[in-house]
Amino acid sequence: MAQFDLQKHIEQGVEKIVTDTLKATLKNPRESAFMAKFAVSSRKASKTRLKFEQEGLHVPGFLIASITSSCNLHCAGCYSRCNNATVDSAPVRQLTGEEWLKIFREADDLGISFILLAGGEPMIRRDIIEAAGKMQNIIFPIFTNGTFLDERYFRLLNERRNLVPVLSIEGGREITNQRRGEGIYETVTANMDAFREKGLIFGASITVTTENVEEVTSREFLDGLIEKGCKLVIYVEFVPVTEEARHLAPGEKERAYMESAMESLRSHYDEAVLLSFPGDELAMGGCMAAGREFFHINSHGGAEPCPFSPYSDINVKDTSLRDAIASPLFHQLQEQGILSGEHVGGCVLYEKRDQVAAIASGSDG
């Protein structure tokens, strides 16, 4: 069996996302013009990452940045609240807008092309999103519940096309409101209509569970999103962070169904980019977190393997993003084979959280 080439996989993955997005935006002149310009920046970033690779530093193409621990919703089974990463009390010691801008600039210098803004609810931090808009070499998908969108935000998104809101939805009205709160489906879909009317690109994020997997992969559901102008659909497997929610985690049956559905949907739709996480980990040599293809910076600056694995041994407030990528925790997770193996739901690191915690605390026995 040929050895898996991670760097090649990352370059091909980034190139495909850029190419597919450019194709999906051809009917939107402003968006298409931005994507064509970004394609040039992306190729330059790929060369930068390759240079670092040759020097012995592996730079992933993606970063997840949780820019706040605040959120106005209490979604059922939310991993962030279950991990106490999102709280109702006033946040303390979170990174400032200037500190995040420094991280974004370092990411640009390292050749990172995509930074996913998460939370909490990231649109609470307008200052950070405005700072991100200045970094035109990086695309910032903003994973949002959609409740903070207003005319001021629409103007910003029109001016800064590298900011791409990704609205969370669980399927139709009933299941979305059941998980996210009464009236949220109506708010989200109304904002989708506003994006279409204003000619702005947006995406949708869907947490896949045993209860909604068939609905959210149906052509009827996808047709509805694309009719509203959605250009990016991201499916994320539900991670059971409590025993009560374990039944919602996709098993082998659901994963097989999902794999078949994604193949069919991608062949049918060319006006939207369809992504699935974690996807086929076996073909990728295991989980892509901990700096293999992405890593996570929490709202306080801690560098973590991923949002579902809230353990850190280094903080970007005290060091550089480059040092964070090469953290001892990430290195040991990669070297000890923690990122591979069978697991329930979308996160092997959550399944092996005791081992990850032991390594992070300096006691990997």
Specify the CATH number for the domain of residue 307.
3.20.20.70
From 8-17, 55-64, 324-333, the region with the lowest mean pLDDT:
8-17
Strand, helix or coil for residue 315? strand
In a domain, 11, yes or no: no
Distance between CA 264 and CA 279 in Å, rounded?
Answer: 15
- The DSSP output letter for 362 is T
Predicted confidence band at 15 (pLDDT cuts at 50, 70, 90)?
confident
CB 181 within 8 A of CB 146: no
> Does 6 have pLDDT greater than 60?
no
Residue 364: per-residue pLDDT? 44
CB of 180 closer than 8 Å to CB of 221: no
What is the spatial distance between Cα 225 and Cα 171, in angstroms, rounded to a whole number?
10
Torsion of CA 6, 9, 14, 18, to 10 degrees: 170
Residue 144, in any domain of the structure = yes
Is the peptide bond between 120 and the residue preceding it cis, with omega within 30 degrees of 0? yes
Residues contacting residue 179 through CB under 8 Å, at least 6 positions apart: 75, 76, 77, 170, 207
- 78 within some domain: yes
Residues 330 and 6: their CA atoms lie apart, in Å, by: 15
Q: Is there a domain that residue 24 lies in? A: no
> Helices 173-180 and 184-198: crossing angle, nearest 10°?
110
Poorest-pLDDT segment among 6-15, 109-118, 297-306: 6-15
Q: Considering its fold, how many domains does the chain have in total? A: 1
Kindly report each contact of residues 30-36 with a partner whose C-beta sits within 8 Å and lies 24 or more positions away, as own/partner. Answer: 30/161, 30/199, 31/161, 31/199, 31/201, 34/161, 34/162
Structural domain containing residue 152: 53-358
In a domain, 5, yes or no: no
Rounded to whole angstroms, the Cα distance separating 36 from 28 reads 12
Calpha distance 116→134 (Å, rounded):
15
State pLDDT tens for residues 177-200: 999 999 999 999 999 999 999 999
User: Is residue 219 classed as helix, strand or coil in its secondary structure?
Assistant: helix
Flag whether 34 is in a domain.
Answer: no
Cα separation, 62 vs 79, in Å, equals 21
CA 352 to chain centre: 21
CA nearest neighbour of 55 among 110, 100, 4: 110
User: Structure pTM?
Assistant: 0.90
Q: Is residue 79 part of a domain?
A: yes
